């Protein structure tokens, strides 16, 4: 296995800040679509803009664009990179983006705050392998932290507070018999986490690939896999649209869903293509590709997983009440 330096950890900030394409979204959804695809009446492709985060989770949609899958469904994609779901969710709500990608907890929180959004296609899913998932809690070998139960009373770095990472860790602590409120979560950007751990500013870090694999090679120990160990077959993220778009242009939603579904299947069957396409939209060094754990790419939204995430989110105070998750997912996606 290649040895990756601490400098590579910082270098692998996968936030490639440039947009992959230009053009305006089709957000007004006024055009009539032909049955069976989203092409306009004169046969031209429908312009669609999608807001994404430059991480491995969205590799399938880039592969779908590369393989012509979206064109086959009448769509011409503009894939626009954003800093995170905090920017993508309001942009989809206002119609600046037609579709967006975010983790499921962010969407649950948005719905709890009254934003009318609909999940329209499945995104990445945990591998389910505690020893080799694309997320992990890592600690120093001499930390005395050997399991999730030992995180109680410790400072744990997460990339975003009150979201999917700290809620899954809190649930793990709770299941181990601990008091989740005694975990001191600290917000730290992924590229900065290893330096903070080395400086003893935190006791543990939550990392996703490529950062988790880099920390592995630096000799840090995995003690918990938040995505693999809490919810079986956890659906981590999804693609979503505004309720207005779903209501006003169901043909476009159907075409987008079908194209994402086909792209997910292609990604699932071609993991090496997933690795290669990362070079198209991230700043990951090519030498790191073989180290990255590829998530699963399911074709449908895992409703059981979403229900459990909603219950966990409510239990740890992220949302006020557990919603009817069926109402949050477009019927064609479940």
User: What's the predicted TM-score (pTM) here?
Assistant: 0.84
Please say whether the beta carbons of 104 and 319 come within 8 A: no
What was the pLDDT predicted at 40?
Answer: 57
Q: Look at residue 43 and tell me whether its pLDDT is greater than 80.
A: no
Q: Look at residue 130 and tell me whether its pLDDT is greater than 50.
A: yes
Least-confidence region, from 37-41, 117-121, 194-198, 321-325: 37-41
What was the pLDDT predicted at 303?
Answer: 97
Percentage of the chain lying above the pLDDT 70 cut: 87
Once rounded to an integer, what is the mean pLDDT over residues 144-164?
A: 95
C-alpha–C-alpha distance, residues 157 and 290, integer Å: 26
21 closest CA partner among 69, 65, 57, 55: 65
* pLDDT single digits (tens) 249-304: 999 999 999 999 999 999 999 999 999 999 998 877 788 888 889 999 999 999 99
| Domains, the chain | 6-126+234-333 (3.40.190.10), 135-229 (3.40.190.10)
What was the pLDDT predicted at 310?
Answer: 98
* pLDDT single digits (tens) 1-16: 333 444 444 434 433 3
Q: 3-state DSSP: the chain helix, strand, coil percent, rounded to 5?
A: 45, 15, 40
Give the largest Cα separation in the chain, rounded. Answer: 67
C-alpha–C-alpha distance, residues 269 and 67, integer Å: 14
Higher-confidence residue: 193 or 28?
193
Q: Look at residue 80 and tell me whether its pLDDT is greater than 90.
A: yes
Encode burial over 284-308: b for 16+ CB neighbours within 10 A, e otherwise: beeebeebbbbbbbbeebbeebbbb
Q: How many residues does the chain have?
A: 334
Please say whether the dihedral angle defined by the alpha carbons of residues 264, 98, 93 and 41, taken in this order, is positive or negative.
Answer: negative
What was the pLDDT predicted at 222?
Answer: 97
Higher-confidence residue: 39 or 231?
231
* pLDDT single digits (tens) 174-217: 999 999 999 999 999 888 999 999 999 999 999 988 788 889 98
Once rounded to an integer, what is the mean pLDDT over residues 87-98?
A: 94
């Amino acid at each position: 296995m290649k040895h990756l330096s601490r400098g590579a950890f910082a270098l692998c900030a996968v936030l490639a800040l440039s947009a992959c394409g230009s053009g305006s979204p089709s957000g007004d959804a006024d055009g009539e679509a032909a049955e069976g695809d989203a092409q306009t009446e004169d046969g031209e492709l429908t312009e669609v803009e999608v807001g994404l985060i430059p991480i491995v989770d969205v590799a399938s949609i880039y592969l779908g664009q590369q393989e012509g899958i979206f064109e086959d469904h009448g769509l011409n994609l503009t894939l626009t990179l954003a800093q995170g779901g905090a920017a993508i969710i309001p942009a989809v709500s206002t119609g600046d983006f037609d579709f967006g990608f975010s983790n499921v907890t962010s969407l649950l929180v948005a719905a709890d705050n009254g934003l009318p959004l609909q999940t329209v296609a499945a995104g990445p899913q945990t591998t389910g392998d505690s020893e080799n998932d694309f997320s992990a809690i890592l600690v120093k070998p001499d930390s005395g932290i050997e399991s999730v139960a030992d995180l109680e009373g410790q400072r744990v770095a997460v990339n975003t507070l009150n979201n999917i990472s700290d809620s899954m860790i809190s649930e793990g602590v709770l299941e181990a018999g601990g008091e989740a409120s005694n975990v001191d979560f600290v917000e730290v950007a992924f590229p900065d986490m290893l330096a903070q751990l080395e400086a003893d500013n935190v006791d543990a870090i939550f990392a996703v690939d490529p950062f988790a694999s880099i920390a592995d090679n630096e000799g840090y120990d995995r003690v918990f896999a938040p995505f693999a160990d809490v919810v079986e077959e956890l659906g981590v993220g999804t693609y979503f649209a505004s309720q207005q778009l779903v209501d006003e242009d169901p043909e476009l939603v159907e075409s987008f869903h079908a194209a994402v579904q086909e792209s997910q299947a292609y990604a699932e069957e071609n993991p090496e293509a997933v690795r290669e396409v990362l070079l198209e939209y991230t700043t990951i060094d090519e030498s790191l590709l073989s180290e990255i754990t590829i998530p699963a790419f399911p074709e449908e939204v895992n409703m059981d997983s979403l229900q459990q995430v909603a219950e966990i989110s409510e239990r740890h105070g992220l949302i006020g009440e557990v919603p009817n998750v069926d109402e949050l997912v477009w019927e064609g996606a479940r």
